[in-house]
């Protein structure tokens, strides 16, 4: 296993937080709001801020890894009407629990990042859409907004400049699909949270049909650090094309589950070591490296892989939102897939037929395999249903339901076949 001392593992967003030092004065004592103040004091041109973001190779931390600087450059500078900035804190992906920790422990990093984004894109109004099942952290974020307003870091004429930015918290409705960016915008408009067709992308047709930039919580929270250290230095913390640090939500059969912020490109073995290794000394069997929507990989493959967008893609999965679900040798892969399939079946918004019907088929078929009623051709049928969902739906939830099915069968086929043939589990212990 790689030694922890071989690499710099100093976190940025989650550095030195204890649950009490989240207030504005604590953030300022840590150097907070310096990036925003410097931009305003020195009247740094917005184009230069975006250039720093591009140089940092910061990529979207919500799942798709889209380059942040490029996304910000889509926003038209001269636009006659209102433009909006939106933060996606609608964290609902199974295994993901990093964004709520950001608003709980370091809400001002997010506020400062959003204010810098608003300045760079010439936006005066922003919303943070917070998952409807998060209550205490929502209240904390509201408090942090009030603190920032009182200190002149939000509102009219920020820090005595000509720049004004009104930021509001919005409590969502708790549906997973509201985390899809266009469903989120619909929900923010007060409508049923159902995804829109893309294109047009929110950059041109967003909230109330106006140009809108929407980024994940962690993406915005990284922005003050990019500006503080400079884009190139931030990029150098990680790997080429995979700049900076990333928060990984470690869950499952690890000794110390939790959020760990490490440089992009940290070996998975190091991350596992940080999380205390495997619980009870058991053997690693499988890992979902980027949230439940992403293909599962074998433990063996993961132990030889680094945690960055490109390395995980090369290994056959996606970094997603950085939710790492670790499964040990006692986990039944059929039962694990059953849980995931039920989730997507339950959370499908029902707009498109392949997803609405297909997620139900997937769930029912995995259910019958798990319960000893599987048929010999079920695995081919599952793959065929997944094929007919993937790439044929309005939003990525269809893909998210299909990809795990294909990967579980591909990487753990013998367990599925054993279940079908023997009508019970191959592994000795059940979940
Ligand atoms: C303007 C273009 N904008 C792309 C923008 C687009 C979006 C971003 C990425 O899925 C993934 C999904 C989940 N002009 C543009 C453009 N954009 N081309 O860039 O877009 P896209 O379509 O690649 O991805 P997406 O639809 O945003 C996100 C996966 O994330 N996921 C879910 C995570 C859940 C959470 C959570 O609970 N917090 O994050 C997890 O892994 O399956 O693959 O902004 O508008 N030409
Ligand atoms: Fe709704 Fe599923 Fe279609 Fe997405 S893919 S719009 S969740 S039915």
Tell me which residue has its CA closest to atom 1 in ligand 2.
349
* Domain termination residue (choose one: 296, 328, 360): 328
Do 82 and 224 fall within a single domain? yes
What is the position in ligand 2's atom list of the atom closest to the CA of 395?
Answer: 4
What is the CA(420)–ligand 2 centre distance, in A? 30
Which token pair is 67?
């380059």
DSSP-derived 3-state class of residue 426:
coil
Same domain, 324 and 409: no
- CATH code of the domain covering residue 393: 1.20.1440.230
Find the residues whose C-beta lies inside 6 A of ligand 2. Answer: 177, 195, 348-352, 355-356, 393-395, 397-398
Q: What is the Cα gyration radius of the chain?
A: 22
Same domain, 106 and 197: yes
Cβ neighbours of residue 181 closer than 8 Å, sequence gap 6 or more? 88, 202, 214
Ligand 2, from 63, 192, 194, 343: best to mutate by most atoms within 8 Å of Cβ? 194
**What average pLDDT does the segment 363-385 reach?**
97
The SS3 assignment for 88 reads strand
Could you tell me if 226 and 298 lie in one domain?
Answer: no
- 201 within ligand 1 shell (Cβ under 6 A): yes
Top mutation candidate among 70, 137, 199, 201 for ligand 1, by most atoms within 8 Å of CB = 201
d(CA 268, CA 243): 17
In sequence order, the 6+-apart residues with CB closer than 8 A to the CB of 354 are 388, 389, 392, 393, 398
- 216 with 363, same domain: the answer is no
Q: Is the confidence at residue 430, as pLDDT, over 90? A: no
Measured in residues, the chain has a length of 431
Among the bound ligands, name the one nearest to the CA of residue 100.
1
Domain interval for residue 363: 333-422
Structure tokens at 221: 């929270």
Residue 106 lies in a domain: yes
What global pTM score does this model have? 0.96
Which residues are registered as beta bridge partners of 304? none
Domain boundary among 275, 301, 328: 328
Is residue 102 assigned to a domain? yes
Burial code (b: 16+ CB inside 10 Å, e: under 16) for 101-118 equals bbbbbbbbbbbbbbbbbb
Integer Cα distance of 367 and 335 in angstroms? 8
Same domain, yes or no, for 202 and 302?
A: no
Reported confidence tier of residue 10, pLDDT bands at 50, 70, 90 = confident
Considering the domain architecture, whether residues 274 and 384 belong to the same structural domain is answered as no
Assign residue 16 a region (left: φ > 0; alpha: ψ between -120 and 50; beta: otherwise): left
What interface predicted TM-score (ipTM) does this complex get?
Answer: 0.94
**Residue 74 is assigned to a structural domain of this protein:** yes
Domain with residue 233: its CATH number is 3.40.50.11540
Residue 9 maps to a domain: no
pLDDT of 273 reads 97
Q: Is the pLDDT of residue 429 over 60?
A: no
Name the phi and psi angles at 382, rounded to 5: -60, -45
**422 Cα–ligand 1 center, Å:** 41
Q: H helices of 189-277, where?
A: 217-229, 231-237, 268-274
Pair 130, 89: CB distance under 8 Å? yes
Task: Say yes or no to pLDDT of 190 above 80.
Answer: yes
Of 215, 237, 259, the last residue of a domain is: 237
CA-based nearest residue to 359, from 372, 374, 343, 370: 343
In a domain, 193, yes or no: yes
């Amino acid at each position: 296993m790689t030694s922890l001392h071989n690499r710099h593992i100093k976190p940025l967003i989650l550095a030195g937080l204890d649950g009490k030092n989240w207030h504005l004065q604590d953030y300022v004592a840590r150097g907070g709001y310096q990036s925003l103040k410097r931009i305003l004091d020195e009247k740094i041109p917005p184009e230069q801020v975006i250039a720093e973001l591009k140089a940092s190779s910061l990529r979207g931390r919500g799942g798709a890894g889209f380059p942040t600087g490029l996304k910000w450059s889509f926003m038209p500078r001269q636009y006659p009407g209102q433009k909006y900035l939106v933060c996606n804190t609608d964290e609902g992906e199974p295994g993901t629990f990093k964004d709520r920790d950001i608003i709980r422990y370091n809400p001002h990093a997010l506020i400062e990042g959003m204010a810098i984004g608003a300045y760079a894109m010439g936006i005066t109004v922003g919303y943070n859409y917070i998952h409807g099942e998060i209550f205490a952290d929502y209240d904390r974020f509201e408090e942090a907004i009030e603190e920032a307003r009182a200190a002149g870091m939000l509102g009219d004429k920020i820090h005595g400049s000509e720049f004004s930015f009104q930021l509001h918290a919005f409590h969502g409705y708790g549906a997973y699909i509201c985390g899809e960016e266009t469903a989120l915008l619909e929900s923010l408009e007060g409508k049923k949270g159902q995804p829109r067709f893309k294109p047009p992308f929110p950059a041109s047709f967003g909230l109330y049909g106006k140009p809108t930039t929407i980024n994940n919580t962690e993406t915005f929270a990284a922005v003050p650090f990019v500006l503080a250290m400079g884009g190139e230095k931030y990029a150098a913390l990680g790997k080429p094309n995979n700049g900076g640090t990333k928060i990984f939500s470690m869950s499952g059969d690890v000794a110390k589950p939790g959020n760990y912020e490490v440089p992009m490109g940290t070996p998975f073995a190091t991350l596992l070591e940080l999380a205390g290794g495997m619980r009870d000394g058991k053997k690693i069997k499988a890992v979902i490296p980027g949230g439940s929507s992403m293909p599962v990989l074998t433990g063996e493959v993961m132990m030889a892989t680094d945690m960055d967008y490109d390395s995980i893609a090369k290994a056959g999965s996606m970094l997603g939102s950085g939710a790492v679900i670790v499964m040990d040798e006692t986990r039944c892969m059929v039962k694990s897939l059953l849980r995931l399939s039920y989730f997507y079946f339950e959370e499908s918004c029902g707009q498109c037929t392949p997803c609405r019907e297909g997620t139900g088929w997937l769930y029912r078929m995995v259910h019958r395999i798990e319960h000893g009623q599987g048929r010999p051709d079920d695995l081919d049928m599952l793959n065929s249903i997944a094929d007919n969902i993937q790439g044929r739906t309005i939003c990525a939830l269809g893909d998210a339901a299909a990809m795990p099915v294909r990967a579980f069968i591909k990487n753990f086929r013998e367990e599925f076949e054993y279940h079908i043939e023997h009508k019970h589990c191959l592994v000795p212990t059940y979940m």
